Structure 1
């Protein structure tokens, strides 16, 4: 029987290559925290990583990591960066000398550092314990992953197996992937009493088995919130990308009763980005998942509710209230609504692509598949920043990465810094003036047929991995006839609604629409779904903040 979570003592791990300092840190930690925590000591980064791997296998929890900055072979920053993959919820502390405070500050951006301590830390009662106390409090209240992993059993090239894994990964739920034909997979299927004909099978942390679960069933079993605590709010935010998260943070921090509803996972397209390098305040870049996690935690800390697997299908005015209807028949009501539904990657319209989607052809960076591309040849369709960021990410493990670009170069669509990064990577190539005209394969992608656009010449190449980034379409079909949209489906707002100085048809208020207000008063739009928006993370967050300011104005005087 699996040991209960309550019976496990969380680990505090410290690593320092100086044995005397290593012993001193462990001694001080053990003196204060030894009764309720396990203190693990290591004297090199590799030794500490090996200890973390063993803790992972045993299902232990790690609450705090303390690493010395200057260690031979592996610096403290490098150790913490790798440790994040094993225990992403653990709080991270860097031990530095006074001369290394610059490096510690840099680490705040590289590894999302929680704190840095100057050596010596005597007396610990003043300099060490208050820091660790605060970090443990934060760790206990955070939504860190449960110790006993969720396990997913499925087939390698099953579309639904990929969707389940992607759902868990994007919601930052730890899971272990087991192939149905391998011994561990067979053991789990036998234990679940299923013949394996219906896959995937998900074994939840408590041991409950789910066969071909829906996203809503998954969310409920792994502890994600799906049911609102009330029927009426000050503001409902629809969509959990940067715009929606920004709106939720600002609305909740200003005292508005706020609920954010998301169909799949918070973060949107930005949440799937391997590295965002042009976002203010992160000179070394930040992964989309890290930025999303911090924003979600920030929103909930201020009191916002965050609900997943909520698919909005209708919006209407109910007197002074605004009502949102969901696919399950439920409704939420609020004084105001912020539409932050974002966009999705456009489908690649070429023969064979649709049949091979999630079986070698993926839209976006497909977080769950990146590790499987090690030593493989990867092809990426697209020439904008999202494609460039994915190419940099895959180049770390793939044998080769080839960007397939319709235009003559990357200059017209990609940021200069990304073009420079790609040019410096020896295993990245760009094929300009090229399009995919067909995909071939039975169980999974085997070959791609490419065409050189100017000449019309085609060639067929061996390919098992294709990732598509070819522009975006807004998630606004459900708003047809409710709010005004442009010809491509993006939501019109503010001055864009005015034609020859006249207010939009049906507008009953004795004022012009506010800047981000749609043609339905009290409903605002933010982020990529807004017509003529900048399509950048920073501008989306700014839209979310501005929308909240306008909600306040609307609530004061509709």
Structure 2
């Protein structure tokens, strides 16, 4: 952690060097001494320190400076570091102005020139200033910092991306004093958001996920152009494949478009996963799997959107959105599924502003003592209901069926029944959403028809349907009518193998219609939609990759 700074500014270079020399001799071990020759230069230094999240203990400014005098500098410096102690360096003739300035800029002390000997005239003053600052210092912020509007979809996407990639950050709204200071330091206004400030002090305005990934230290480019195995998708199936592929000696790279973990990574608690009797959060499970894959030598790339799969001889080539490619002997498709969008009027316009698909755990603290509506009757919705019940005044679980029995695990049904502030609304659907800057009201109606009723609502989380993200495989890999990848026996029609299949064997159990391309987890047709089965299929796919590489080509 950087030392707290003491900044001195004087337009006379000789005086500036002398002050810095005396300060460095006495305080240099515990403080960083910064000197500037003008108020503008000093403000630029303070802006850099603010963006890097560093501390400033004392500001020492000369009163008589051209362009910006010491009082004007200290007044502007207060906007960046309001807790820094402020000392004005004056000549004897300026003492009346210095005394008056105590009330103007909340001056802590004025110091007469010359200050020699410093042991008598400078150090006692500085000691008092430093002790006063230590009693209520600026807290260093070494995390990534985000400034944005409270109800802003782009701001939410940035926060959600960092949270799901386990990048620590601090969130400030444009109404926060610290948020305003960061905008001032970056030379921006409240319209220039979301603003992201990296730990090194670099500023990004409304960055794309790819830009953000690079700046916060996530790996986005492969180390090689050819691998034994490329895993597409970083959910449980993809992470399982990466762990087993790398541990078995395959040169393995995992490509993830947004954040590892998939839908499971957003789960607040998974309680039916083998080996975790007390449950484990999706984020914890994802973090362990990531570290395990990296330990065995797998590469994990983030913000990599694959747009095409091509067959070039024995190589399987994947094309990225930016026009680059990567090739491998084999591919495992583990892209999972995404939640289906509700088509009710108003929902699309309010997405990210009170309407969310998936858990959006970053919003949970903001839901405190408010009503939360959740749409969906499967485990993911049930886990979210349990999670939000710890914050919300009441959680309303909206389902189209008559009960939760058909789609939710028994242990979750029993837990929900035992929580007083969770209310299940059977045979109910959302038919409209209303709000200006954010969600304010929902219209609910019985699935059999009848009049709709309007409820006040600020939060709606949707967990319905399962749509595979496989459009980019169109014309290459056979899929079913809903877009799920067909594998193994499902590709056979009687004794007929899939069109274009040239090998003298049937497709392996998890192999697609393209030899050497396998599917695992939720993206595979008729798979069991559970975390444990996805991990198992990822591991099983790797064993089939070995068979393919040894004997199946």
TM-score by length of structure 1 reads 0.74
Deviation at 1:198, TM superposition (A): 2.3
Runs of 4+ in 1 over 3 A off after TM superposition: none
Residue ranges of structure 1 left out of the alignment (5+ in a row): 6-56, 60-145
Given candidates 258, 279, 283, the residue that maps to 1:285 is 279
CA–CA separation in structure 2 for the residues paired with 1:465 and 1:147 = 30
Which residue does 2:397 correspond to in 1? Answer: 403
Which residue does 2:487 correspond to in 1? Answer: 493
Are residue 240 (structure 1) and residue 234 (structure 2) matched? yes
Which residue does 1:3 correspond to in 2? Answer: 2
Are residue 530 (structure 1) and residue 524 (structure 2) matched? yes
Which residue does 2:461 correspond to in 1? Answer: 467
Deviation at 1:147, TM superposition (A): 7.6
Which residue does 1:510 correspond to in 2? Answer: 504
Which residue does 2:542 correspond to in 1? Answer: 548
The alignment partner of 2:366 has SS state of helix
- 1:19-98 equivalence runs, <5 A: none
Does the 8 Å contact 2:229/2:331 carry over to 1?
yes
Residue ranges of structure 2 left out of the alignment (5+ in a row): 5-52, 56-139
Given candidates 323, 330, 340, the residue that maps to 2:334 is 340
Which residue does 2:9 correspond to in 1? Answer: none
The alignment partner of 1:445 has SS state of coil
- 1:147-158 equivalence runs, <5 A: 148-158=142-152
Does the 8 Å contact 2:243/2:292 carry over to 1?
yes
- 1:139-538 equivalence runs, <5 A: 148-538=142-532
Deviation at 1:555, TM superposition (A): 0.3
Deviations 1:165-189 (CA, angstroms, capped at 9, x unpaired): 0000000111000011221111100
Deviations 1:17-45 (CA, angstroms, capped at 9, x unpaired): xxxxxxxxxxxxxxxxxxxxxxxxxxxxx
Deviations 1:110-142 (CA, angstroms, capped at 9, x unpaired): xxxxxxxxxxxxxxxxxxxxxxxxxxxxxxxxx
The alignment partner of 2:227 has SS state of strand
Larger radius of gyration: 2
CA–CA separation in structure 2 for the residues paired with 1:284 and 1:192 = 46
Deviation at 1:454, TM superposition (A): 2.9
The alignment partner of 1:323 has SS state of strand
Deviation at 1:196, TM superposition (A): 2.7
The alignment partner of 2:253 has SS state of strand
Q: Mark the CA change 1:147 to 1:177 in structure 2 (over 3 Å): closer, same or farther.
A: closer
Deviations 1:80-117 (CA, angstroms, capped at 9, x unpaired): xxxxxxxxxxxxxxxxxxxxxxxxxxxxxxxxxxxxxx
CA–CA separation in structure 1 for the residues paired with 2:419 and 2:517 = 46
Deviation at 1:439, TM superposition (A): 0.2
The alignment partner of 2:249 has SS state of coil
Deviations 1:255-277 (CA, angstroms, capped at 9, x unpaired): 00000010000000000000000
CA–CA separation in structure 2 for the residues paired with 1:198 and 1:498 = 56
Deviation at 1:453, TM superposition (A): 1.9
The alignment partner of 2:424 has SS state of strand
Does the 8 Å contact 2:54/2:141 carry over to 1?
no
The alignment partner of 1:187 has SS state of helix
What is the count of residue pairs matched by the alignment?
Answer: 420
CA–CA separation in structure 2 for the residues paired with 1:511 and 1:182 = 65
Which residue does 1:121 correspond to in 2? Answer: none
Does the 8 Å contact 2:172/2:179 carry over to 1?
yes
The alignment partner of 2:388 has SS state of helix
CA–CA separation in structure 2 for the residues paired with 1:234 and 1:147 = 42
Deviation at 1:498, TM superposition (A): 0.1
Does the 8 Å contact 2:242/2:252 carry over to 1?
yes
CA–CA separation in structure 1 for the residues paired with 2:496 and 2:532 = 32
Which residue does 2:100 correspond to in 1? Answer: none
The alignment partner of 1:439 has SS state of strand
Deviations 1:336-395 (CA, angstroms, capped at 9, x unpaired): 000000000000110000000010000001021111111110000011110000000000
CA–CA separation in structure 2 for the residues paired with 1:455 and 1:530 = 35
CA–CA separation in structure 2 for the residues paired with 1:215 and 1:358 = 16
The alignment partner of 1:354 has SS state of coil
CA–CA separation in structure 1 for the residues paired with 2:290 and 2:449 = 49
Does the 8 Å contact 2:54/2:142 carry over to 1?
no
CA–CA separation in structure 2 for the residues paired with 1:453 and 1:314 = 40
The alignment partner of 2:268 has SS state of coil
CA–CA separation in structure 1 for the residues paired with 2:141 and 2:291 = 20
Deviation at 1:3, TM superposition (A): 1.0
The alignment partner of 1:226 has SS state of coil
CA–CA separation in structure 1 for the residues paired with 2:161 and 2:315 = 33
